[in-house]
Amino acid sequence: MMQLAFVPAIGACARPMANTIRIPISAVVGALLALATLPAAAADCGGNPSALGTARTLAVDPAVTPAVGRKHFPVTLPLKPKEVVLTFDDGPWPGTTDAVLKALRAECVKASFFMLGRNAVAHPALARKVLAEGHTVAHHTYSHPLLSHMSLPRAEAEIDRGFAAVDQAVYGSGSRVPRTPFFRFPGFASNAALVDLLARRRIAVFGADLWASDWNPMSPQHQRTLVLQRLIHAGGGIVLFHDTHAQTAKMLPDFLRDLKRLDYRVVHIVPASHVASHESAGR
């Protein structure tokens, strides 16, 4: 049973009430509500009691962590050992994105998809399906140019075109202010001026802590072994995949079972602004 007052165990009976730590009932109710809204645990995963599940949701505030991922930046997200953030770039793409979504659904795992504007425009139903299945829809420019080679105004225009196109496809309206302020540079081709510009606009830049190298053709089994070795070496972190590659889609069911077997835990990243607005809407 949940207790409303916790008394120190040693000499508790002799202590005056002033030493009793009192927990407001509102806090207890809040904790119970929080438990009720926890992400889908493995136990709830539609007939798959051994599912990996999503361990927790992490609200990312661009003002606190403007650029994360140790492959390119000095810091990463505040993850515990063996926590993993799954990210997929370059989609949505028919066939492969569907297969990735199916694998994630089977294990009740939530991920983040850094979409290209041109692909969201070409496949809006698939882009909406990613959101409808509870994943985070993030951004990766309109047409995947290497922005570090462009003038600052042209690079910003390309980023903004991507924001607007993805949000238009997914939500029915879009602008240069993205619904989810998460961005990843194509080819990790950033520069200090662009990173600063995005920080000023309160858009979090995601690098990665490790990647699957799935732009290189290889068998799904080789892909699975490679990324697993890198994950074990890194001890967790932000993992970069591409949902446009069949080899990634094919190895994902086995890879998710590997995570479960090896006691890794999946963390779903969401914008802090969304969490704050939902909390205020619930008041």
Residue ranges in contact with Zn ion by CB under 5 A:
89-90, 186
Contact 179, 139 (CB under 8 A): no
Q: Map residue 256 onto helix, strand or coil.
A: helix
Residue 171 vs 215, nearer CB to Zn ion: 215
Residue 72 vs 82, nearer CB to Zn ion: 72
CB 229, min distance to Zn ion, A: 23
DSSP 8-state symbol, 111: -
CB 126, min distance to Zn ion, A: 17
Q: What angle do CA 49, 42, 44 make, to 5 degrees?
A: 80
Residue 93 vs 264, nearer CB to Zn ion: 93
Query: Which candidate in 135, 139, 144, 242 is catalytic?
Result: 242
CB 110, min distance to Zn ion, A: 21
DSSP 8-state symbol, 236: S
Q: Map residue 179 onto helix, strand or coil.
A: coil
Which two tokens mark 4? 């409303």
Overall residue count recorded for the chain in this entry: 283
CB 276, min distance to Zn ion, A: 29
Sort 234 into a burial class: Cβ within 10 Å, 0-12 / 13-18 / 19+: middle
Which one-letter amino acid corresponds to residue 249? A
149 is catalytic: no
Report the alpha-carbon distance of residue 265 to residue 245 in Å, rounded.
24
242 is catalytic: yes
CB 75, min distance to Zn ion, A: 22
Residue 90 vs 167, nearer CB to Zn ion: 90
Q: What angle do CA 154, 157, 159 make, to 5 degrees?
A: 110
Residue 90 vs 209, nearer CB to Zn ion: 90
Return the active site residues: 89, 242
